[in-house]
Structure 1
Amino acid sequence: MKPRTGLLCDRRNKRGLRKTFGMILLAMGCFTLYVIKGNSTSDDVEKTVSNRANSRSNTSQASTQFLLTRSSIRIPCKPVRNFVFLKTMKTGGSTVASILHRHAIKNDLVLVTAQDSRPSILPDKSLSKPALKYLRYNCSDFPGYNYIANHVHYNRQAMDSVIPDAKYFTILRSPYDQRRSQFYYTSKDTEYSNNRNPFETYLNELKADYVRDGQLIRVMRNGTSQFHTLGFLPKYHTNDTAVALKLIELERELDLVMMMEYFDESIVLLAKLLCWDLEEFVYTFCKLHSARPAPITSLVRKRIDTLNPGDVKLYAHFNRTFWEMVDAYDGDFEADLRAFRRIQRNVVHDCEDAKWKDFNCINLKYDAHQLRGRLYNKQLQWICPRNLRHQQIPLSNRTQCKYLLH
Structure 2
Amino acid sequence: MLRWLVRGRVGPVWMWKALLLFVAIGFAGQLLGVIFNKSSVQTAGRSIFTSPDAQGPSLGSCQPHTHIMFLKTHKTASSTVLNMLSRFGEERDLRFALPLGYQLGYPLPFNAHRVKGYRGPRAVEFHIMGNHMRFNRPEVEKVMPADTFYFSIIRNPVALAESSFAYYKEVAPAFRKAKTLGDFADDPRKYYDPRLRNNHYARNLLLFDFGMDHNANFTATLAQRAEEMIRQTFRLILVSEYFDQSMILLRHALCWPLDAVVSFSLNARQQKLGGIGGLSGGWVGRVATAAGVGGKGGRSQAKTLTNITEEQREKLRQWNALDWHLYTFFNRTFWEEINRFGVAQMEEEVALLRMRREELAHVCLRDGGKPVEAHRIRDRNIRPYQSGLVKILGYELQPGLDNATRTACLRMIRPEIQYKDVLDAKQFPRPVAAQAQPEAQNKVLVVAAGGSLSRRDSSRMRERPMVGGVAGRTLEEGERDWDGHRLTRRNQTLIGGQDKGRLS
State the TM-score bracket (shorter-chain normalisation).
0.5 to 0.7
The answer to whether the 8 A contact 1:282-1:343 is kept is yes
* Equivalent residue number for residue 358 of structure 2: 345
Task: Please state how far the C-alpha of 1:266 moved relative to its aligned partner.
Answer: 0.5
Task: Please state how far the C-alpha of 1:372 moved relative to its aligned partner.
Answer: 1.2
Aligned pairs for 1:2-401 (under 5 A) are 74-115=59-100, 117-122=101-106, 124-125=108-109, 131=112, 133-137=114-118, 143-164=124-145, 165-187=147-169, 198-204=180-186, 206-210=188-192, 213-214=193-194, 218-220=198-200, 225-290=205-270, 291=292, 292=299, 293=303, 294-329=306-341, 332-352=345-365, 356-357=397-398, 358=401, 359=406, 360-381=408-429, 399-400=459-460
The answer to whether the 8 A contact 1:119-1:150 is kept is yes
TM-score with structure 2 length normalisation?
Answer: 0.55
Question: What is the CA–CA distance in structure 2 between the aligned matches of 1:196 and 1:239, rounded to whole Å?
Answer: 28
Task: Please state how far the C-alpha of 1:295 moved relative to its aligned partner.
Answer: 3.5
Task: Please state how far the C-alpha of 1:401 moved relative to its aligned partner.
Answer: 7.5
Task: Please state how far the C-alpha of 1:108 moved relative to its aligned partner.
Answer: 1.0
1:202 to 1:196, Cα distance in 2 relative to 1, 3 A: closer
Question: What is the CA–CA distance in structure 1 between the aligned matches of 2:88 and 2:203, rounded to whole Å?
Answer: 26
Question: What is the CA–CA distance in structure 2 between the aligned matches of 1:208 and 1:215, rounded to whole Å?
Answer: 14
Task: Please state how far the C-alpha of 1:206 moved relative to its aligned partner.
Answer: 3.9
| Secondary structure, counterpart of 1:91 in structure 2 | coil
The answer to whether the 8 A contact 2:80-2:265 is kept is yes
The answer to whether the 8 A contact 1:236-1:243 is kept is no
1:222 to 1:304, Cα distance in 2 relative to 1, 3 A: closer
RMSD: 3.7
| Secondary structure, counterpart of 1:111 in structure 2 | coil
How far does the alpha carbon of each residue in 1:21-73 deviate from its partner, in whole angstroms, 9 at most, with x for none? Answer: xxxxxxxxxxxxxxxxxxxxxxxxxxxxxxxxxxxxxxxxxxxxxxxxxxx98
The answer to whether the 8 A contact 2:102-2:131 is kept is no
Question: What is the CA–CA distance in structure 1 between the aligned matches of 2:68 and 2:321, rounded to whole Å?
Answer: 29
Question: What is the CA–CA distance in structure 1 between the aligned matches of 2:108 and 2:165, rounded to whole Å?
Answer: 26
Q: Extract unaligned runs of 5+ from structure 2.
A: 1-56, 271-291, 293-298, 368-395, 435-455, 463-504
The answer to whether the 8 A contact 1:114-1:133 is kept is yes
Task: Please state how far the C-alpha of 1:362 moved relative to its aligned partner.
Answer: 2.8
How many equivalent residue pairs?
312
Question: What is the CA–CA distance in structure 1 between the aligned matches of 2:98 and 2:164, rounded to whole Å?
Answer: 25
Task: Name the structure where helix makes up a greater proportion of residues.
Answer: 1
Question: What is the CA–CA distance in structure 2 between the aligned matches of 1:352 and 1:398, rounded to whole Å?
Answer: 35
| Secondary structure, counterpart of 2:323 in structure 1 | helix
| Secondary structure, counterpart of 2:266 in structure 1 | coil
How far does the alpha carbon of each residue in 1:267-314 deviate from its partner, in whole angstroms, 9 at most, with x for none? Answer: 111111111101112212122222244434222212212321111111
Task: Please state how far the C-alpha of 1:186 moved relative to its aligned partner.
Answer: 2.4
How far does the alpha carbon of each residue in 1:171-205 deviate from its partner, in whole angstroms, 9 at most, with x for none? Answer: 1011011111111112469x99xx99822124346
Task: Please state how far the C-alpha of 1:159 moved relative to its aligned partner.
Answer: 1.4
1:196 to 1:122, Cα distance in 2 relative to 1, 3 A: closer
Task: Please state how far the C-alpha of 1:131 moved relative to its aligned partner.
Answer: 5.0
1:110 to 1:76, Cα distance in 2 relative to 1, 3 A: same
1:206 to 1:236, Cα distance in 2 relative to 1, 3 A: closer
1:400 to 1:295, Cα distance in 2 relative to 1, 3 A: same
How far does the alpha carbon of each residue in 1:103-129 deviate from its partner, in whole angstroms, 9 at most, with x for none? Answer: 1111111111223x242345855x8xx
Instruction: Name the stretch that deviates more: 369-378 or 357-366.
Output: 357-366
Instruction: Name the stretch that deviates more: 146-155 or 296-305.
Output: 296-305
Larger radius of gyration, structure 1 or 2?
1
Amino acid of the residue matched to residue 317 of structure 2?
D
Question: What is the CA–CA distance in structure 2 between the aligned matches of 1:279 and 1:104, rounded to whole Å?
Answer: 13
1:271 to 1:401, Cα distance in 2 relative to 1, 3 A: farther
The answer to whether the 8 A contact 2:264-2:357 is kept is no
Question: What is the CA–CA distance in structure 1 between the aligned matches of 2:144 and 2:415, rounded to whole Å?
Answer: 24
The answer to whether the 8 A contact 1:110-1:147 is kept is yes
The answer to whether the 8 A contact 1:112-1:134 is kept is yes
Task: Please state how far the C-alpha of 1:348 moved relative to its aligned partner.
Answer: 0.9
1:182 to 1:122, Cα distance in 2 relative to 1, 3 A: closer
Question: What is the CA–CA distance in structure 2 between the aligned matches of 1:296 and 1:372, rounded to whole Å?
Answer: 36
Instruction: Name the stretch that deviates more: 275-284 or 325-334.
Output: 325-334
Question: What is the CA–CA distance in structure 2 between the aligned matches of 1:138 and 1:214, rounded to whole Å?
Answer: 35
Task: Please state how far the C-alpha of 1:84 moved relative to its aligned partner.
Answer: 0.4
TM-score with structure 1 length normalisation?
Answer: 0.67
Amino acid of the residue matched to residue 226 of structure 1?
L
> Which 4+ stretches in 1 moved above 3 angstroms?
121-125, 202-206, 215-218, 221-224, 292-296, 352-355, 396-399
1:356 to 1:398, Cα distance in 2 relative to 1, 3 A: closer
Identity %, equivalent residues: 25
